[in-house]
Amino acid sequence: MKWFLYTISVFYIVSGVCFILYTSQFREYTSILVKKVDRRILSVLVIIIGLLFIASSFYDRFLWVIVVIGVLALIKGTFILFSPVNLYNKMLDWYLTKTTDQTYRFFGIIILIIGTAIFSWVN
């Protein structure tokens, strides 16, 4: 399961850099991507990623961090799957249109730090 941790950490690092450097372009790309994918498919994908995080946590030096990220992904996937459509659309609208560039860059910094930490902690 090391492959999953390495792959997801590189994905996090690349995403974080894109959030920081190419904010408006990445916002448009994210908007197009999220609007094309059905929310049930998205929720199942997030739940699978959460399960993979939990399963691969034994290959990381800081097991609890990866378990927490996995549990948060499971909660997010469950929320996307079972939340009312109106609530999901309001949250998505806030994330895609109403957030400022500074908020996106802040999210990018957090994602970049998490990706770097996961990459450096893999045994």
Per-block mean pLDDT, blocks of 10 residues, the chain (123 long): 93 96 92 90 96 92 92 96 90 90 95 95 87
String of DSSP letters for 13-28:
HHHHHHHHHSHHHHHH
Task: Tell me the domain boundaries of the chain.
Answer: 2-121
